Chain A
Amino acid sequence: MTEHSKQAESTFALRCVINGEAQTIETTASARLLTLIRDELELTGTKRSCDIGRCGACMVLMEGEAVNSCLAMAYQCAGKSITTIEGISKGGFDPIQQAFLEEGGFQCGYCTPGMIVSVKGLLDSNPSPSEDEIAEALSGNICRCTGYGGIRRAVTRAIEGRMLAK
């Protein structure tokens, strides 16, 4: 057995980058990223809801791709770059957020940070997605109050806005 395989300490120092800033968080290796973001870093824009990856309220970007922070464990985030909704709006409203506001892509707003994060991950890798690609990218984000019409309009508007901005 190698030394590395023996590294199963009860505490774990998670070193990663969150919203552009290097962080070292003393935790346990199996702690959920969601818990660390909300309770340790007090970045409460990332929402807790289903705890099993079904609703998407806790979505964050890991290396630029959307993942459920309720499923990711601390050791899986080591060395990674994590972006939360606070990171997306660090320099002011992101055009995706503006599009959600203008198109009424929310009602209670609880799912909205996760929606924004998923759309950000999609458009950063695929600036001109098809309807099917949008549907697939948002298939892990559930809205239980306003329906999806406004959300789809917001995504379309965000795509157009990003195109015009180029």
Chain B
Amino acid sequence: MGMNAQGSMAFPQVWHPQTAAEAWHLKQSFGTDSVYVSGGTLLRTQWESGVAAIPKHLIDLSAIRGLGEIRIGETGLVIGGQVSLEACRTHPIIQRHFPIVTEALRQTAAPSIRRLGTIGGNIASNIGDSLPALLGYNAHVVWYNGMEDLQITLSEWLKIAGMLHTERLLLQIQLPFQADETLEGHEVEHLRSVISKTKRFSAYHKVGRREAFTPSVVTASVSGSLSEKKEVNEIRIALGGGQMIAQRLEELERELLGKVIDVQLLRHVYNRIMQLYKPREDLFASVSYRKTTAAHLIASELWKAAHQ
């Protein structure tokens, strides 16, 4: 049984701002005595385990207008930060156009938790299982800085995760459609001829310590496209797992562009992942285990992309 934080806690006050600006001001007012809360599922885990103290104030983001919907925007799919993980998991457009996000969410917790937990909370945690999959589609995030909405790539958001104040407020996630999904007319015809000779691939793996509903030891995604000659046209490799902030291996991605996937290149991929991937060790898995696992996963998926 857990430590029963509920039994000993002074109950926090819960605030329900209607706008991002209101939420921001509340956070400014209460400072470290407060946290933003979406579904609250991760926070509850942290409180019960003693990892985080229960704050005096919870700033509930669920009432902020416009953050609870999924809609098609000008350049891609726009997912409000308050959309539940389960709603994302079962959304037909996400299933069709962003299948490794669906797969990542299928492997995130259990449905009962996904109905409470939100995609915004999963991202804001910096360690959520959805992150490598979202990085695989070059997702962008929109966040509020107290004055205006700002948009940056998810990759950049994660790089500065430890440097920004906790006040930054995630509003939306944007998943860009592939070029062939937004063009019209003759552009489509031209692109179709190119695409017919191009092979798209994507894969997501979560390695845990049991089959279902397990914390991640290694989380990996790879996506991109190959030419007829198995040359890498585009590629994104993202890794996470445990308490590590998910990252893209952009250096390796650049090294692979234009290269033919063969045994020599796969050896290179393996060795570079061993160098570039920086997981954190914990009681359950060593750094070496995590690196080896990630290197095998990505190399094998590239081999499959080229040969199946």
A contacts, CB < 8 Å to B:
1-2, 4-10, 12, 28-32, 35, 48-54, 56, 59, 62, 65-68, 70-73, 75-76, 118, 135-137, 139-141
Contact = CB atoms under 8 A, between A and B. Distances in A.
B29 to A, nearest CB: 9
> Which of the listed residues A7, A54, A56 has the most CB atoms from chain B within 10 Å of its own CB?
A54
A32 B6 contact: yes
17 contacts: A1-B25, A5-B15, A8-B13, A8-B14, A30-B58, A48-B1, A53-B41, A53-B110, A65-B111, A68-B112, A76-B40, A76-B62, A136-B111, A137-B111, A139-B110, A140-B113, A140-B213
Contacts of A2: 17-18, 22
Interface of B: 1-6, 11-18, 22, 25-26, 39-41, 44-45, 48-49, 57-58, 60, 62-63, 106, 109-113, 115-116, 212-213
Given A1-B22, A29-B14, A66 B111 contact: yes
Given A8-B15, A54-B213, A76-B40, A31 B6 contact: yes
Contacts of A71: 39-41, 44, 113, 116
B44 A139 contact: no
B275 to A, nearest CB: 35
A10 B13 contact: yes
Contacts of B111: 65-66, 136-137, 139-140
Contacts of A75: 14, 16, 60
Nearest to A51: B2
Given A1-B25, A30-B12, A56-B110, 16 more contacts: A1-B26, A4-B63, A5-B17, A5-B26, A9-B13, A52-B48, A53-B44, A53-B113, A59-B112, A66-B111, A66-B115, A67-B115, A68-B116, A71-B116, A73-B40, A139-B111
Contacts of A35: 6
Main secondary structure on chain A at its contact with chain B?
Answer: loop
A29 B40 contact: no
B1 A50 contact: yes
A49 B212 CA distance: 19
Contacts of B49: 52
Given A7-B16, A76-B40, A118 B116 contact: no
A113 B22 CA distance: 41
A88 B18 CA distance: 36
A10 B15 contact: no
A73 B212 contact: no
Contacts of B45: 52-53
Nearest to B86: A65
A28 to B, nearest CB: 4
Contacts of A51: 1-6, 44, 48
